Structure 1
Amino acid sequence: MNNATTIQDRQLTITRLLDAPRSLVFKVWTQPEHFSRWLGPKDFTTIGCQMNVQVGGMYRACIRSPEGTDYWMQGIYREIIEPERIVFTFAWEDENSQPKHETLVTVTFEEQGNKTLMTFQQAIFESIESRDSHNTGWSECFDRLATYLTAF
């Protein structure tokens, strides 16, 4: 079996049309009190979330699985263009709070009337399996995000 993959194979793109104005979608991505409410796959809870949303600022968050396992993530904001675009690094932490493999995430927000077309891109994963795992996790996050936005 050939394990070689192309760079394109190790990129993830998810697009969602959200029933909320762009300014609100941007807000819930950039304020910890909102971000922590929808971060994590289905049935996960956010138990910690720190965000310094500015170029060069760091974020760190922890999500807890239904079984009680904690997953810490961290990264640095590379670009913030309100309310259009957020670019940041993403890495899971090891047991010593050190970042593991780092990817780059770009999220864009495009007005579609009173709705927002959100495009999420993350790359470059170590493997197709890692990409697919993130696809599942982020897709469930975005389901939670869509539900959370209905509260406004």
Structure 2
Amino acid sequence: MNYEITKKERIARIVSILTVVPLVALFTITLLYINFKEDFQGFFWYFYSILFLTILPISAYPLKYILPSYRNSGRGGERKLAFILAILGYVLGSFFVFILKGSLIVKKIFSVYFTSGIILTFANKSLKFKASGHACGVSGPITLLYHFLGIQFYFYI
């Protein structure tokens, strides 16, 4: 019986790690870049997307140990900081992709993440609903992949 709990906890931990939103973003952006390289209009927009949707949000984990207000805040503080940096990445990335006249595919990518982030923030803060960041961070990219790749994207998973 005790072994089952440990096994379930391990599976839950693996699923949690694999569905960390920045890693899903990295997978999504890379898959789209591989299939639509010319639509990205160069490597810059691929790197740009990785910077704002993966690197900035995932930087919360090392920053937790540097920022005094988060250092001793435990897992809750770590999650809060990750959420803040993800939303910051979505907002700044969206703003600059339109200002810098990014490619259409990159605008669509950022629009999906921006919209998902706004809806999640609204649900959690205004409605006091505990919406899952992992679920939101997976469902948006799956919709995006389906939009661009159709049913064939299932073969990449």
- Give me the TM-score of the superposition, normalised by structure 2: 0.29
**Bigger-Rg structure (1/2):** 2
Instruction: Select the structure that is richer in helix.
Output: 2
Q: Which structure has more RCO (C-alpha within 8 Å, separation ≥ 6)?
A: 1
Instruction: Select the structure that is richer in strand.
Output: 1
